Structure 1
Amino acid sequence: MNAALSETPLPGLAGKTIVMSGGSRGIGLAIALRAAVDGANIVLIAKTDTPNPRLEGTIHTAAAAIEDAGGRALPVVGDIRDDVTIARAVEAAVGTFGGIDVVLNNASVLALEGTLDLSPKRFDLMADVNVRGTFMLSRAALPHLVKAANPHILTLSPPLNLAPHWLGAHPGYTLAKYGMTLCALGFAAEFAAQGVASNTLWPRTTIATAAVANVLGGEAMMRRSRKPAIMADAAHAILTTGSREMSGQCLIDEELLRARGITDFEGYAVDPTAGLMPDLFLDG
Structure 2
Amino acid sequence: MTDTPPLAGKTILMSGGSRGIGLAIALRAARDGANIALLAKTDAPHPKLEGTVHTAAEQIREAGGQALPIVGDVRDEDSITQAVLKTAGEFGGIDVVVNNASVIDLSGSLQLSTKKYDLMQDVNVRGTFLLSRAALPMLTEAANPHILSLSPPLNLSPRWLGAHTGYTLAKYGMTMATLGLAAEFAKDGVAANTLWPRTTIATAAVQFSLGGERMMRASRTPEIYADAAYEVITQPARTYTGQTLVVEDVLEAAGVTDFARYAAVPGTPDTELFPDIFLD
Give me the TM-score of the superposition, normalised by structure 1: 0.95
Q: Deviation per CA, 1:99-122, whole angstroms, max 9, x where unpaired? A: 000000000000000111111100
- Counterpart selection for 2:190 from 189, 192, 196: 196
- The equivalences for 1:204-243 within 5 A come to 204-243=198-237
Conservation of the 8 A alpha-carbon contact between 2:151 and 2:172: yes
1:151: which partner in 2? 145
1:56: which partner in 2? 50
Distance of 2:5 and 2:64 partners within structure 1: 16
2:112: which partner in 1? 118
Q: Deviation per CA, 1:56-78, whole angstroms, max 9, x where unpaired? A: 10000000000000000001101
Residue range with higher mean Cα deviation, 207-216 or 268-277: 268-277
Distance of 1:247 and 1:81 partners within structure 2: 26
Residue range with higher mean Cα deviation, 269-278 or 20-29: 269-278
Distance of 2:42 and 2:215 partners within structure 1: 25
1:278: which partner in 2? 275
Conservation of the 8 A alpha-carbon contact between 1:104 and 1:154: yes
- The equivalences for 1:1-284 within 5 A come to 11-271=5-265, 272-273=267-268, 275-283=272-280
| CA deviation after TM superposition for structure 1 residue 124, in Å | 0.4
Conservation of the 8 A alpha-carbon contact between 1:234 and 1:257: yes
| CA deviation after TM superposition for structure 1 residue 273, in Å | 2.5
| CA deviation after TM superposition for structure 1 residue 195, in Å | 0.4
Distance of 2:79 and 2:56 partners within structure 1: 18
Conservation of the 8 A alpha-carbon contact between 1:63 and 1:75: yes
Percent sequence identity is 68
Q: Deviation per CA, 1:178-234, whole angstroms, max 9, x where unpaired? A: 000000100000000100000000011000000111111111101110000000000
Conservation of the 8 A alpha-carbon contact between 1:11 and 1:240: no
Partner amino acid, structure 2, of 1:273: T
Distance of 2:241 and 2:125 partners within structure 1: 19
Distance of 1:267 and 1:162 partners within structure 2: 32
Q: Deviation per CA, 1:77-130, whole angstroms, max 9, x where unpaired? A: 011101111011100111111100000000000000011111110000000000
The structure showing larger relative contact order (alpha-carbon pairs under 8 Å, at least 6 residues apart) is 1
1:5: which partner in 2? none
Runs of 4+ in 1 over 6 A off after TM superposition: none
Distance of 1:212 and 1:67 partners within structure 2: 27
| CA deviation after TM superposition for structure 1 residue 11, in Å | 4.7
Give me the TM-score of the superposition, normalised by structure 2: 0.97
Partner-residue secondary structure (3-state), 2:119: helix
Distance of 1:171 and 1:92 partners within structure 2: 37
Distance of 1:97 and 1:152 partners within structure 2: 17
Distance of 1:249 and 1:13 partners within structure 2: 21
How many residues of Structure 1 are paired with residues of Structure 2 in the alignment? 274
Conservation of the 8 A alpha-carbon contact between 2:5 and 2:32: no
Give unmatched runs, 5+ long, in structure 2: none
Distance of 1:172 and 1:119 partners within structure 2: 10
Partner amino acid, structure 2, of 1:130: N
Partner amino acid, structure 2, of 1:128: D
Partner amino acid, structure 1, of 2:216: M
Partner amino acid, structure 2, of 1:136: L
Partner-residue secondary structure (3-state), 2:44: coil
